[in-house]
Amino acid sequence: MKNTKTIKLLGIVAVIAITGFAMMGCDNPATSVDDTHTHTHTWEWVETNAVYIGLEEGTCTGCGQTTTRPIAQKAITSTSELGTVLAGLTDNTIATPYTLRVNLSSETISHHAAALNNNLTKYVFLDMSGSTFTQNIFSFASCTNLTGIILPASVTIIPQTAFSGCSNLASVTVLGNITEIVLYAFYNCSSLVSFTIPASVTKLGVSSFEGCTNLANVTFEGTIPIDNFPLQSPFPGDLRAKFYATDAANGTPGTYTRTPPGTVWTKQN
């Protein structure tokens, strides 16, 4: 499998495999009870011939028997259709978001961010690993129901305000080598607790992590020239000063932590 970098962080046709609470042999979408025990259900992804197939997995808590079946893929041709599909799903919480595997273009996202936000009517984790972005222009701004995302290898820049206002975004995985995180990219992403800056990143934008009030752990895998790390620090607190404390030109890689809402960062390694 590919190595991925995890940051602790619709197209003409979007193909999504919906992982939620459709059931196997059960009468309702959460759990079902027969005469002897309760059945519970979870989801998992399996990869077959380089194509992700959603599998519905059901485990009986009474006898331990587990069964699976494939989930049919659903072709989505518009954000309004996505909204219709999500509206039909139930028992969704922020702790158990629906996982959607989506193939879409950056051009469509950039033009329909508002519609995307309006139609994400359930908490969702977007797996976009199968998408191909032809440009680094996209925005999920104010998608407050977005809890996590996997960005495709074709993404090389996190653009301006890309995830601004995504207050429930807690996980971002980047499959490619990003070189820049632009200003306000993660502005007010208050659910981000941990974030890794890949070694490929050579430039950070002004206030790119401003408002990330719960950010407590930042790992720099490489150095960043001081001129590319603005004085109006991308991060809350004194992280910029600590990063350049021992190497004033390029900074010192490692993991830096703080206890929110404190402003003092400490290098851990």
Q: Transcribe 36-56 into DSSP letters.
A: S-EEEEEEEEEEETTEEEEEE
At a CB cut-off of 8 Å and minimum separation 6, what does 207 contact?
183, 184, 187, 232, 233, 234
Mean pLDDT across the chain: 75
CA distance 253 to 47: 35
Note the helical H segments in 48-191: 79-87, 106-111, 113-119
Distant-in-sequence, close-in-space partners of 6: CB < 8 Å, separation ≥ 6: 171, 172, 173, 174, 196
Give the model confidence (pLDDT) of 155-190 as tens digits.
999 999 999 999 999 999 988 899 999 999 999 999
pLDDT digits (tens, 9 = 90+) for 9-48: 333 233 434 443 333 333 333 344 444 555 554 544 443 3
Name the nearest CA neighbour of 142 among 168, 165, 119, 111. 165
Residue with tokens 């991060």: 235
What is the C-alpha to C-alpha distance for residues 209 and 37, in angstroms, rounded to an integer? 48
Per-residue tokens: 71 = 């989930």
What pLDDT score does 194 carry?
95
Predicted pLDDT at 17: 42
Q: SS3 for 197?
A: strand
